[in-house]
Amino acid sequence: MLTVLLSSCEFNCSAGGDKSVVTTKSVSSDNNSALTGAVIKNDIDVEASGVKISEVYLMDADNNYLTENITRLNEKIYLVIKADTGWVKENDLSFIGASERISTASGHVIVDAANIFKDYETTGLPADKAHLINLSALITEADPGVENFVVQFKVWDKKGKGEVKGKYKFGIKK
């Protein structure tokens, strides 16, 4: 039996750990200024429009940068998206949506969360916190032989045109 829990979303964090051992790539692209200069870690495929991204990476539950895209059963893995600018602000609030789909490496969808921030649709988020978004997933059980997963994510501005989307892979170590 495969059990997955998409456990939470957060809007700010403090990160520890040694950044120097994480594989990074800097983005320089004439046709995607939303990612120009961004640091993308952990082999995350990411696209952005209408919002300026500074960093995208994975962390563990102890706020340590992941040097490999590997976690254990019952341990959270966090996707961290740092945006410099772009979310629309109304009365010091931003209205952001997020979705996450987790599937096995063979394509079997195990989580399809279409509206993670639905509790904030009418109240919004403090605009000063919305620049740092964390999406987390927790794998609690996996069938024998199922060790690799693909996470597709999307974060968007419900009042504007800003959007960040992408995917990453991670594995479970026993």
Q: What is the pLDDT of residues 26-43, one digit of tens each?
A: 444 444 567 888 899 999
Q: Indicate yes or no: pTM above 0.85.
A: no
Residue range 103-125: mean pLDDT, rounded? 92
Which one, of 63, 60, 58, lies nearest residue 72 by Cα?
Answer: 60
Average pLDDT, the chain: 82
CATH architecture of structural domain 3-173: Sandwich (2.60)
What are the residue ranges spanned by the domains of the chain?
A: 3-173
Model confidence band, residue 142 (pLDDT cutoffs 50, 70, 90): confident
Contacts of residue 145, Cβ cutoff 8 Å, sequence gap at least 6: none
Q: How many distinct helices (H) and strands (E) make up the chain?
A: 0, 14
- Please state, for a pLDDT cut of 70, what percent of the chain lies above it: 81
> Which DSSP symbol is given to 119?
G
Q: Is the pLDDT of residue 15 over 80?
A: no
* CA pair distance 36, 26, nearest whole angstrom: 8
